[in-house]
């Protein structure tokens, strides 16, 4: 009898909720009819995603037919393997973050405008065909997949948040030029990055912005015969971990100009400690190099012909390869010297103006290339409008409804609408649970009051959760991680398209363990006291709490916050990046302490009203 009553109560609750949503939608339609400007849309990439044809996993055998028929296809969370995929010009394939498994993908020669987003390849590959140029494609958030291009032509493509090896071999024919590799992370494998060109059709202009080679089992890189190559931010740990490799971590031969900035890490626990680098280039620039090889016998090598500009660094000096040395060594602010402020040329301290400086001047100035285009910022959706605090009063509570979806379905996939909650939602950090909506302009979770976190994370060791396509508004905190709900170490978290609005703290890491190798894709903070707050324990011994390592904020906007980013680390943070981000009308943009290699790239700052 008791179970019958409980069942009846649940059915009554769902019925009331459905009726309330219907009434809400009717009122919304009336409001739109009387005021067309009330319509709030999503951001453009969200619009493209939700306009794509939804292919259920039950129809996975038809995936190629769907792509060829509709041009743009999105997948559910599930296993779509079993059918290889071929992509051509302007075709798009979207998945659910790290939960949509697919088979091998081929991008046909001559293609342009192909989009692959949020796909789990599970040791499969994305193959670029040889032939006509493949250009202006966007490959984003690929987990455990290998990029393969053999004698292909790749120009002006963008690879964002790629989790797997990249193997581009144009040593016989073809070329790759002006491609952007923004956030490349892989580990545990051999030869994570291969890039080989040829002298007949040279390769150049490729930029690696944020790279993390984590515990490669053997060799790490094999880069050969490029006119130039640029790395901004490269962290590598325990290369040659299994002792199966024979090459230094960064192996670059027959190169033109090589530029590397913010190079860190170390291999203290590798089975075999191979050198950090062996570089044969015309010109080598290294800025902010602090990486340890931990083996005096594993010495880095630079070719005799190479002109070296080495500013700001320590650890692991280099020796010249065999032969007559024709290149120069210009060093400044090298910490292993007695005087950190010394400038040396070929080992001699320079106390007067350098005579015959032409070769040095040419190497410093180099070639002027075309800068990256400036970001085109969209106006962030504001679905609740300016009177949201007044309008939330008396609204029914949807907290039990959402929590039941999380507990029952793992992923609470919310429809369009505003869901008011009176207390925190508990979200397990186990890779399986999450909350998704229908877009930052279409789905809102709003606090009925501002004295609780909207989402509190529970448990989680080296794990993550799903969060995408919604606005979190009100409450005291948007997402709250702390040891209140178990020791938490969050790793490989990929969340996208979430707007945090009107909170004391948007994303709060309080005294938890760590936050490691995460990707924030179009995550924005508006009208927050602090947008992203890393709050470690203070005064502890060997305190590792709440460290933030190798986390990238991509295409995020930080608007009208007292402090956009607060990361005052007690255990040093390493290689965090803000790429294509907008900082506007904040009191303080960055409060950083104990951060190694923080990178802000291609970002805009305007109307700041506090300290610099």
Q: What is the pLDDT of residues 543-597, one digit of tens each?
A: 668 899 999 999 999 999 999 999 999 889 999 999 999 999 999 999 999 999 9
Percent of the chain with pLDDT over 70: 92
> Across the chain, what does the average pLDDT equal?
91
Q: Which residue has the higher pLDDT, 144 or 294?
A: 144
| pLDDT on residue 235 | 95
Which among 471, 454, 468 has a CA at the least distance from the CA of 412? 468
pTM, two decimals, is: 0.92
Instruction: Return the HEC string of 128-178.
Output: ECCCCCEECCEEEEEEEEEEEEECCEEECCEEEEEECCEEEECCCCCEEEC
Lowest mean pLDDT among 25-34, 220-229, 313-322, 361-370: 25-34
Check whether 196 has a pLDDT greater than 80. yes
Query: Are 542 and 556 spatial neighbours (Cβ–Cβ below 8 Å)?
Result: no
Written as six digits, the tokens of 63 are 């995936």
Q: How confident is the model at residue 37 (pLDDT cuts 50, 70, 90)?
A: very low
Which among 415, 471, 477 has a CA at the least distance from the CA of 449? 477
Q: Which residue has the higher pLDDT, 184 or 295?
A: 184
| pLDDT on residue 11 | 38
Q: What is the pLDDT of residues 103-156, one digit of tens each?
A: 999 999 999 999 999 999 999 999 999 999 999 999 999 999 999 999 999 999
| pLDDT on residue 541 | 52
Q: How confident is the model at residue 339 (pLDDT cuts 50, 70, 90)?
A: confident
User: Can you tell me whether residue 7 is helix, strand or coil?
Assistant: helix
Q: Which residue has the higher pLDDT, 22 or 230?
A: 230
DSSP for residue 368: P
User: Can you tell me whether residue 542 is helix, strand or coil?
Assistant: coil
420 beta partners:
446
Q: Is 446 exposed, middle or buried (0-12, 13-18, 19+ CB in 10 A)?
A: buried
Q: Which residue has the higher pLDDT, 369 or 110?
A: 110
Check whether 33 has a pLDDT greater than 90. no
Which residues, 6 or more positions from 51, have their beta carbon under 8 angstroms from its beta carbon?
72
| pLDDT on residue 542 | 54
Query: Are 507 and 530 spatial neighbours (Cβ–Cβ below 8 Å)?
Result: no
| pLDDT on residue 488 | 87
At 288, phi and psi to the nearest 5? 65, 60
232 beta partners:
209, 261
Which residue's entry shows tokens 């209140």? 484
Average pLDDT rounded to a whole number, residues 484-506 = 94
Q: Provide the CA 592 distance to its chain's centre, in angstroms.
A: 20
Query: Are 399 and 421 spatial neighbours (Cβ–Cβ below 8 Å)?
Result: yes
Q: For residue 247, count other CB atoms closer than 10 A to its CB.
A: 17
| pLDDT on residue 315 | 75
| pLDDT on residue 564 | 98
- Determine the Cα–Cα distance for residues 143 and 161; give it in Å rounded to an integer: 9
- Determine the Cα–Cα distance for residues 533 and 510; give it in Å rounded to an integer: 8
Which residue's entry shows tokens 């179970």? 3
Which residues, 6 or more positions from 412, have their beta carbon under 8 angstroms from its beta carbon?
402, 405, 406, 434, 435, 436
3-state helix, strand, coil in the chain (%, to 5): 15, 45, 40
Which residue's entry shows tokens 């000096």? 317
Average pLDDT rounded to a whole number, residues 86-111 = 97
- The C-alpha angle 23, 25, 28, rounded to 5 degrees, equals 110
Check whether 351 has a pLDDT greater than 60. yes
Residues in the chain: 612
- What is the rounded end-to-end Cα distance, in angstroms, of the chain? 67
Q: Which helix (H) or strand (E) holds 310?
A: strand 307-314
Q: DSSP letters of 235-304? A: EEESTTTTS---S-SEEEEEEEEEEEEEEEEE-TT-SS---SEEEEEEEEEEEEEEEE---TTS-EEE-T
| pLDDT on residue 159 | 98
Q: How confident is the model at residue 13 (pLDDT cuts 50, 70, 90)?
A: very low
Q: For residue 256, count other CB atoms closer than 10 A to its CB.
A: 16
Average pLDDT rounded to a whole number, residues 469-479 = 98
| pLDDT on residue 612 | 66
Which residues, 6 or more positions from 382, have their beta carbon under 8 angstroms from its beta carbon?
40, 501, 526
Query: Are 165 and 193 spatial neighbours (Cβ–Cβ below 8 Å)?
Result: yes
Q: How confident is the model at residue 8 (pLDDT cuts 50, 70, 90)?
A: very low
| pLDDT on residue 28 | 46
Instruction: Return the HEC string of 34-95.
Output: HCHHHCCCCCHHHHHHHHCEEECHHHHHHHHHHHHHHCEEEECCEECCCCCEEECCCCEEEC
Inter-helix orientation angle 2-34/399-409, to 10°: 120
Check whether 610 has a pLDDT greater than 90. no
User: Can you tell me whether residue 529 is helix, strand or coil?
Assistant: coil
Q: How confident is the model at residue 79 (pLDDT cuts 50, 70, 90)?
A: very high
Q: What is the pLDDT of residues 414-471, one digit of tens each?
A: 999 999 999 999 999 999 999 999 999 999 999 999 999 999 999 888 899 999 999 9
Q: How confident is the model at residue 478 (pLDDT cuts 50, 70, 90)?
A: very high
| pLDDT on residue 543 | 64
Q: What is the pLDDT of residues 178-190, one digit of tens each?
A: 999 999 999 888 9
- Determine the Cα–Cα distance for residues 208 and 179; give it in Å rounded to an integer: 9
Which residue's entry shows tokens 């031969």? 253
Query: Are 131 and 152 spatial neighbours (Cβ–Cβ below 8 Å)?
Result: yes
DSSP for residue 99: T
Check whether 21 has a pLDDT greater than 80. no
Check whether 402 has a pLDDT greater than 70. yes
| pLDDT on residue 436 | 97
């Amino acid at each position: 009898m008791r179970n019958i009553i409980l069942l009846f109560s649940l059915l009554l609750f769902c019925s009331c909720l459905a009726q309330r949503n219907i009434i809400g939608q009717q009122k919304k339609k009336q409001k739109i009819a009387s005021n067309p400007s009330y319509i709030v849309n999503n951001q453009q990439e969200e619009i493209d995603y939700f306009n794509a044809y939804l292919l259920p996993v039950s129809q996975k055998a038809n995936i190629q037919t769907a792509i060829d028929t509709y041009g743009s296809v999105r997948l559910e969370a599930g296993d779509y393997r079993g059918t290889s995929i071929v992509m051509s010009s302007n075709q798009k394939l979207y998945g659910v973050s790290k939960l949509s498994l697919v088979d091998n993908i081929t991008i046909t020669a001559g293609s342009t405008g192909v989009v692959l987003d949020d796909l789990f390849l599970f040791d499969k590959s994305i193959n670029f065909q040889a032939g006509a140029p493949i250009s202006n494609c966007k490959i984003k958030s690929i987990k455990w997949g290998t990029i393969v291009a053999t004698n292909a032509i790749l120009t002006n493509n963008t690879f964002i948040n790629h989790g797997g090896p990249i193997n581009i071999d144009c040593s016989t024919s073809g070329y790759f030029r002006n491609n952007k590799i923004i956030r490349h992370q892989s580990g545990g494998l051999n030869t994570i990055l291969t890039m080989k060109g040829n002298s007949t059709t040279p390769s150049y202009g490729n930029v690696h912005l944020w790279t993390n080679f984590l515990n490669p089992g053997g060799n790490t890189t094999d880069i050969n015969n490029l006119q130039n190559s640029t790395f901004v931010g490269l962290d590598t740990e325990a290369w040659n971990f299994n002792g199966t490799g024979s090459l230094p971590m960064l192996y670059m031969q027959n190169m033109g100009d090589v530029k590397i900035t913010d190079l860190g890490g170390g291999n203290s626990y590798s089975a075999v400690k191979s050198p950090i680098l062996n570089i044969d280039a015309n010109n080598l620039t290294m800025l902010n190099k602090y990486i340890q090889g931990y083996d005096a016998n594993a010495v880095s090598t630079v070719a005799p012909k190479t002109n070296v500009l080495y500013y700001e660094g320590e650890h692991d000096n280099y020796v010249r390869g065999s032969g007559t040395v024709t290149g120069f060594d210009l060093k400044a602010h090298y910490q292993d010297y007695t005087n950190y402020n010394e400038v040396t040329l070929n080992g001699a301290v320079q106390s007067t103006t350098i005579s015959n400086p032409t070769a040095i001047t040419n190497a410093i100035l180099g070639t002027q290339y075309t800068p990256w285009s400036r970001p085109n910022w969209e106006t962030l959706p504001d679905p609740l409008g300016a009177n949201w605090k007044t309008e939330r009063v008396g609204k029914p509570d949807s907290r039990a409804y959402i929590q039941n979806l999380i507990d029952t379905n793992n992923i609470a996939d919310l429809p369009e609408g505003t869901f008011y909650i009176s207390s925190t939602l508990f979200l397990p950090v186990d890779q399986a649970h999450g909350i998704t909506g229908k877009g930052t302009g279409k789905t809102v979770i709003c606090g009925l009051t501002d004295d609780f976190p909207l989402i509190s994370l529970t448990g989680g060791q080296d794990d993550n959760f799903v969060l995408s396509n919604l606005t979190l508004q009100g409450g005291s905190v948007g997402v709250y991680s702390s040891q209140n709900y178990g020791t938490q170490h969050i790793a490989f978290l990929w969340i996208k398209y979430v707007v945090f609005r009107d909170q004391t703290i948007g994303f709060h890491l309080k005294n938890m363990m760590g936050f490691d190798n995460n990707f924030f894709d179009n995550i924005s903070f508006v009208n927050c006291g602090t947008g992203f707050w890393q709050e470690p324990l203070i005064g502890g011994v060997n305190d590792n709490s709440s460290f933030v390592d190798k986390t990238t904020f991509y295409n995020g906007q930080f608007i009208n916050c007292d402090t956009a980013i607060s990361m005052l680390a007690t255990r040093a943070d390493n290689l965090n990046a803000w790429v294509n981000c907008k900082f506007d009308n904040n009191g303080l943009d960055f409060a950083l302490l104990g951060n190694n290699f923080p990178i802000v790239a291609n970002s805009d700052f305007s109307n700041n009203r506090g300290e610099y």
